[in-house]
């Protein structure tokens, strides 16, 4: 990518609380950063927080001012996304709280990726305020989640639209022969003008 104006600021939030199934979060982060580096993001910071606690979310949003927010970790459906408390234990954040958070940052954030099982509930709530939100309609395995992220950020780094990046991410899962390519769901804010 040659056009530095097209580069998006990206924030990666990762959480794998104690007592939950271990996920390959660092591998996902490494793959995302590598795809973006190859696309020319070498000089643009891709910020991340690991072992993300609920109180870290607002601070990271204020500090890094991202246009793209990527959450990787566990989702529990209607109960929320799994972040950590001060002791590293599971702390669920529900859809309403997440939607209200992103409402506050809606002038800046263009896309939220919830790369977590059963996160479609949160994606639909957040999409009331953010133009594009990707969630998972059911459980998604580590390999599929990583392949989706690789495809998505490869396209985004190449200057493609979010819709195209979403489709390429789904196709990346399919190309690897993983039968979860229909799991990612793109939620679009109802009153936006879609690019042609």
In a domain, 48, yes or no: yes
Residue pair 67/108 in contact (Cβ under 8 Å)? The answer is yes
Sequence-ordered alpha helix ranges (H) in 23-157: 25-38, 54-64, 95-104, 120-126, 142-157
- Give the up-direction half-sphere exposure of residue 98: CA atoms within 13 A in the CB hemisphere: 28
Asked whether residue 46 is assigned to any structural domain, the reply reads yes
Task: Give domain status of residue 91, yes or no.
Answer: yes
CA 61 to CA 130: how far, in whole Å? 14
Q: To the nearest whole number, what is the mean pLDDT of the chain?
A: 88
Is residue 116 within 8 A of residue 81, CB to CB? The reply is yes
Q: What is the pLDDT of residues 135-191, one digit of tens each?
A: 999 999 989 999 999 999 999 988 899 999 999 999 999 999 999 999 999 999 987
Residue 196 lies in a domain: no
What per-residue confidence (pLDDT) applies to 43? 60
With respect to residue 128, please indicate whether it lies within any of the assigned structural domains. Answer: yes
Tell me, yes or no, whether 57 lies in a domain.
yes
Domain that holds residue 104: 7-188
Tell whether the model's pLDDT for residue 102 goes beyond 90. Answer: yes
Q: What is the pLDDT of residue 196?
A: 47
pTM beyond 0.85, yes or no: yes
Decide if 2 is inside a domain. no
For position 73, what pLDDT does the model report? 87
pLDDT digits (tens, 9 = 90+) for 7-24: 788 899 988 878 776 666
Find out whether 85 and 41 touch, Cβ atoms under 8 Å.
no
Question: What pLDDT is recorded for position 86?
Answer: 87
- 44 pLDDT tier (thresholds 50, 70, 90): low
Q: How many domains does the chain have?
A: 1
**Residue 114 belongs to a domain with what CATH number?**
3.40.50.1460
1 is a domain residue? no
Interatomic CA distance for residues 135 and 113, integer angstroms: 6
């Amino acid at each position: 990518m040659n056009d530095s104006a097209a580069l998006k600021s990206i924030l990666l939030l990762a959480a794998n609380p104690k007592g939950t199934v271990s996920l390959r979060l660092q591998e996902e982060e490494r793959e995302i950063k590598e795809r973006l580096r190859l696309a020319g993001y070498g000089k643009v910071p891709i910020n991340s927080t690991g072992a993300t606690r609920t109180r870290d979310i607002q601070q990271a949003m204020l500090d890094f001012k991202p246009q793209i927010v990527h959450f990787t970790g566990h989702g529990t459906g209607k109960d929320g996304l799994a972040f950590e408390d001060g002791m590293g234990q599971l702390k669920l954040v529900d859809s309403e709280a997440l939607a209200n958070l992103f409402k506050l940052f809606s002038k800046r954030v263009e896309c939220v990726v919830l790369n977590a099982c059963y996160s479609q509930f949160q994606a639909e709530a957040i999409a009331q305020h953010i133009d594009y939100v990707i969630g998972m309609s059911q459980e998604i395995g580590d390999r599929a989640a990583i392949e989706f992220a690789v495809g998505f950020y490869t396209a985004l780094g190449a200057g493609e639209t979010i819709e195209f990046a979403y489709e390429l991410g789904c196709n990346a899962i399919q190309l690897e022969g993983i039968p979860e390519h229909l799991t990612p769901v793109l939620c679009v804010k109802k009153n936006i003008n879609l690019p042609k």
